[in-house]
Amino acid sequence: MTGPVGLSGSRGAAREGPAAGAPGERRELDARLQQAQRLEAVGLLAAGVAHDFNNLLTAIRGYAQIALESAGADDGLRESLDEILLASERAADVTRQLLAFSRRQTLRPRTFDLNQAVLESRGFLPGSLGAQIRVDTALAPGVCGLFADPGQVEQVLSNLAANARDRMAGGGTLTIETGRIELEAAAALQQGIDPGPYVVLRITDTGEGMDAESVAHAFDPFFTTKPVAAGSGLRLATVYGIVRQSGGAISLDSTPGSGTSFRLLLPQREVDVAAPAPPAPVLGGSERILLVEDEDAVRRLTARLLEAQGYEVVAVETPVEAIELAAATRFDLLATDVVMPEMDGGRLAARLRDDRPELPVLFLSGYARDAVLGDVLTAAHTCFLQKPYSPDELAQAVRATLGDGIDLPAPPTDPG
């Protein structure tokens, strides 16, 4: 390929116009719909597994960090605890991939230039691909501004490059192209996205290609053509989830012996040149906190971390206990899990705010915030912290909820 995709010559954006109504194209649209429905069902299951696992990881990581701080000069113990923390970080990566596929991860989107992101990827991709694979780029002129999480777009590039590497064992060429396109209503319907301007990212390899069965299931989690234990089958599922949650679409074209090409569409935006805010300091306090968490290990850990930061903590297992306590005692903040039996955290917060509308509320959950809370987070003095969290992240979230001028990342959009 010699030029940027989605362009006519070197100027302007291409247009994808009305889709024809031929029977073959209708069958293709039906197949896309069936695939989307299948992936949505699997995504719900993956999100549930990730949520439960995040609760366990919160306790594992938290207690390992506490133990490490108390290990002193015992090198053997410190080494063992470091290994536990390293393993828990790897496990957290798996849950993040599951949440990415299910479109229930927490995104931190902003506007940035895709061309710049691709150029920066040239710094880390060659080392991961190996000397036998050449990386070529064909970038659209000007700025390809998009609205997405830059870290997730970097993960998309890394995962697709790793997928290409595995299919070019004897070497080859990986080509990364960018472009811009105006998607009209009929074409947008085929992709399952809104009409409008999009940035195009195409990643093509010269590898062995994929057969029809592999193409049909390429984005399914845990589907892999590798031998048992040689791959998790989460790379392409993660890419699919990131693209869809970012409001975009992804398609795949491949045949055996002819390489593979992935085409991604991501919403186009003007680039915001504002500088990011500096990180906020981590502080403690002396306020009284009502903690509601139905997982025993997570409740004990969170209470311990908050008490170590100077807070007075009353920890309970159920929302019913929390309502009874709040009726008799004044609390400065409610920190509550979201998914609980009998009553979820959103309903609990609403009940307590009937009497105290100004009550600060910090939601804690293994799910992403928009997936379980929606408009609840628009209320004043309301924040969200996703599990598993570190002591510093918890400390910062509490101060932000109490209104100390500490800003947490803005709530993510969930256009997908």
Structural domain boundaries of the chain? 14-18+106-267, 288-401
Average pLDDT, the chain: 79
**Segment of 20-29, 89-98, 217-226, 285-294 carrying the highest mean pLDDT:** 285-294
**Alpha carbons within 13 A on the beta-carbon side of 149:** 24
Q: Both tokens of residue 118? A: 């691709």
Does the domain spanning 14-18+106-267 belong to CATH 3.30.565.10? yes
Q: Which amino acid is at 35?
A: Q
Q: What three-state secondary structure class fits 34?
A: helix
For the chain, the straight-line distance linking the first and the last C-alpha, in angstroms and rounded, comes to 30
β-strand 361-365 against 110-113: which pairing, if any? unpaired
Q: Evaluate whether 14-18+106-267 and 288-401 have a shared fold.
A: no
Pairwise CA distance, residues 129 & 136, whole Å: 13
Could you tell me the pLDDT band of residue 56, with boundaries at 50, 70 and 90? confident
Of 412, 407, 403, 401, residue with least CA distance to 369? 412
Could you tell me the pLDDT band of residue 2, with boundaries at 50, 70 and 90? very low
Higher pLDDT, 274 or 93: 93
Which helix H or strand E contains 337, and what residues bound it?
strand 333-337
Pairwise CA distance, residues 414 & 386, whole Å: 16
Pairwise CA distance, residues 359 & 128, whole Å: 49
Could you tell me the pLDDT band of residue 69, with boundaries at 50, 70 and 90? confident
Q: Both tokens of residue 3? A: 């030029």
Predicted TM-score of the model (pTM): 0.52
Does 232 have pLDDT greater than 60? no
Neighbours of 128 (CB within 10 A): 11
Does 17 have pLDDT greater than 60? no
Rounded to whole angstroms, what are the CA distances from 278 to 281, 334, 389?
9, 27, 20
Q: Residues with Cβ < 8 Å from 111, sequence gap 6 or more? A: 145, 146, 147, 269, 270, 271, 272
Pick from 196-200, 280-284, 401-405: least confident: 280-284
β-strand 196-205 against 172-183: which pairing, if any? antiparallel
Question: What's domain 288-401's architecture?
Answer: 3-Layer(aba) Sandwich (3.40)
Could you tell me the pLDDT band of residue 114, with boundaries at 50, 70 and 90? very high
Q: What is the pLDDT of residue 42?
A: 57
Q: How is residue 207 annotated by DSSP?
A: S
Q: Which amino acid is at 133?
A: I
